[in-house]
Amino acid sequence: MEAKQKIIVVGGGFAGINLVKKLDDKLFDITLIDKINHHQFQPLFYQVATSQIEPSSISFPLRHIFRKKRNIQIRLAEVLKVNTSANSITTSTGDYEYDYLILALGCQSNFFGNKKIKKNALTLKTTYDAISIRNHILQTFEDIISVKESEKDSLLNLVIVGAGPTGVELAGAFAEIKKNILPKDFPGIDFSRFKIILVEGSKYTLNNMSDSSKKASYKYLQKMGVQILTETLVTDYDGETLYLNNESIIKTKNLIWTAGVKANTVEGIPEAWLTAGNRIKVDRINKINGSDNIFVVGDMALMTTPKYPKGHPQLANVAINQAKNLAKNLKRIHLDQKPVDYEYKDLGTMATIGRNKAVVDLPYIRFQGMFAWMVWMFLHLMLILSVRNKLIIFINWAWAYITKDTSLRLILKSTKQNN
């Protein structure tokens, strides 16, 4: 019997999970490596950050997902280096050899070289980040009660930088809890002074969506009381003062940065393979140009096609379908068959702004409002991995819709004091 080929998949995001699921068990032995032990459902991070759902509802242990797959090994480790000449990788738990290596490490926040902003801003790229935002915002209101009047303004300003889907969804969610929830929890605070400020460098909110969605999202947010600063760039932030390119400043201790991403990288990848935003140039089957057995899928990959000469958008749907196509192609390569080129079929984009408020751009139709909100909820529920979690999230959403409240406002942090 022919020995199975060894495939290492680095990253348990949308691309990594779907690739491992679709790889042929009879042909390959698979090692899935990630530095966290669970898959994270990123589209709903903002709901964890705003106390609408629990982190466990959108976190799926990798060992549980693949518990019935005997040819898959899970390793909790950080990849430190790719040794291309030796067909091996170095990790925090040792070295692993491969016949094929698939990198699916996703993205991180892009601070465009500003180290002070990176040090002082909150981000929303992991479940841990979402919990940190929740802790920070809830602790802020606990602090407001007792601080001097002169210190309250910086605590009562919440600034979100970046008006893409994540920034818009965060701003809308915070506007809703400002109106419906926080005043009940903190009756001693004047919430008319609590400002939610959304800063965007381009002309519009949701700048990559249709004109109707841009206008609708802007209108929704304004009506909800969000201050929107478009065509405005952040130049610096020291933890207390935000500096803008129009020479104005905002006093705030609450800055959430959603203003751009860059691909994660790993040592050993030649600089010649990297392009703008650290994305790695790949061919139409996601193989790195310059390598015979290293592939990149998802947000890390830059694949140019006639339809997308600048590369595909960094979306979950792209990552999922690239992964599925690569799984088929690895089998084809093994059987000496011609691989099939990948092309992204645009199924549309959407964003929710709040209760009964969403925008949806489909290839042939665009719509907003309550129906769009229902479509957004349904499609996101379908993407959740387990039936149990679908049910839990649906119940949470239904309860919150009826009562305009949740009971998830927990500050979870260590009580140990540094000596």
Which of these, 155, 168, 129, lies nearest to 48 by C-alpha position?
A: 129
Are domains 5-109+261-334 and 115-259 of this chain identical in fold?
yes
Q: What is the pLDDT of residue 383?
A: 87
Are 214 and 368 in contact by the 8 Å Cβ rule? The answer is no
Alpha helices in 9-126 (DSSP H): 14-22, 45-49, 62-65, 115-120
Taking only the tens place, the pLDDT of each residue in 140-164 is: 999 999 899 888 999 999 999 999 9
* pLDDT over 80 (residue 282): yes
Tell me what the pLDDT averaged over the chain comes to.
Answer: 92
Taking only the tens place, the pLDDT of each residue in 244-275 is: 999 999 999 999 999 989 999 999 998 888 99
Find tokens 């909150």 and name the residue.
Answer: 122
pLDDT band of 3, cuts 50, 70, 90: confident
Q: What is the pLDDT of residue 156?
A: 96
Are 55 and 45 in contact by the 8 Å Cβ rule? The answer is no
Query: 262: Cβ–Cβ under 8 A, 6 or more apart, which residues?
Result: 107, 108, 109, 110, 277, 278
Q: What is the pLDDT of residue 303?
A: 95
| Nearest-angstrom CA–CA distance, 217 and 212 | 9
Percent of the chain with pLDDT over 70: 98
Cite the beta strand spans of 258-356 per DSSP E. 261-263, 280-282, 294-296, 301-303, 349-354
Query: 328: Cβ–Cβ under 8 A, 6 or more apart, which residues?
Result: 22, 340
| Nearest-angstrom CA–CA distance, 247 and 200 | 15
Taking only the tens place, the pLDDT of each residue in 407-417 is: 677 787 766 65
Query: 160: Cβ–Cβ under 8 A, 6 or more apart, which residues?
Result: 167, 170, 171, 174, 196, 197, 198, 199, 256, 258
Compute CA distances 347 → 215, 303, 313, 360, whole Å. Answer: 21, 18, 12, 11
SS3 326: helix
Mean pLDDT of 193-219: 95
Q: What is the pLDDT of residue 152?
A: 92
Taking only the tens place, the pLDDT of each residue in 388-400 is: 888 889 888 888 8
CATH superfamily of 5-109+261-334: FAD/NAD(P)-binding domain (3.50.50.60)
pLDDT band of 419, cuts 50, 70, 90: very low
Query: In the CATH hierarchy, which top-level class contains the domain 115-259?
Result: alpha beta
Q: What is the per-residue burial (b if ≥16 Cβ within 10 Å, else e) of 176-200?
A: bbbeebbbeebeebeeeebbbbbbb
pTM, to two decimals: 0.92
| Nearest-angstrom CA–CA distance, 14 and 298 | 8
Taking only the tens place, the pLDDT of each residue in 24-50 is: 989 999 999 999 999 999 999 999 999
* pLDDT over 50 (residue 331): yes
Mean pLDDT of 62-91: 94
Taking only the tens place, the pLDDT of each residue in 173-192 is: 999 999 988 999 999 899 99
Structural domain spans, the chain: 5-109+261-334, 115-259
